[in-house]
Amino acid sequence: MKNYTALVLAALVMLLIALAGASSGTTITKRTAGTDPKSVPGSINRGNGAIVKPGYTFVRRGDEVDVVKARGFKTGTYVCSCRSGDANKKCELIFSPKQILCKQGSCSGPSCLLVPVEPAATQ
């Protein structure tokens, strides 16, 4: 009986360790395919801008903006992308915790686009 209890306890501890590792916040991301960008969960994409839904906030991380649920769970990311083909051209990201806007910086014409990036499946 003691061996059975120890085995069940060890299995439970291993399960808890696996669950803690799965929710550590490390995410591999990929760009979504298609010409019509979707919204990251917890936000509403409005062309070159987006707003967050109640209970979510935007968190700026360099040139990217994460959509984060109130308890710190990241649902996805937006990037402000220049479609000119010139790596030196950049779009300007206007940021606030509740609203973001992607607009022309050194990128010419209507080439700036707010692109959602969704979490990819981890391997």
**pLDDT single digits (tens) 39-84:** 899 999 887 899 999 999 999 988 899 999 978 789 999 998 888 7
Going by the DSSP 8-state scheme, the letter that residue 47 receives in this structure is T
Structural tokens at position 106? 């050194």
Chain position carrying tokens 């994460």: 66
Domain assignment of residue 6, yes or no? no
Picking from 123, 118, 122, 121, the residue whose alpha carbon sits closest to that of residue 33 is 118
Sign of the Cα pseudo-torsion (77, 83, 85, 89, in order): negative
Contact status, residue 114 vs residue 50, Cβ threshold 8 Å: yes
Q: pLDDT tens for residues 84-100?
A: 777 788 888 899 989 99
Residue 37 counted as domain residue: yes
Structural domain containing residue 65: 27-119
Least Cα distance to 67 among 84, 53, 48, 81 occurs for 53
**20 is a domain residue:** no
How many domains in the chain?
1
| 56 inside domain | yes
- 52 within domain boundaries: yes
**Residue 8 covered by a domain:** no
> What is the model's pTM?
0.62
Q: Kindly state whether residue 2 falls inside one of the protein's structural domains.
A: no
The reply to whether 12 falls in a domain is no
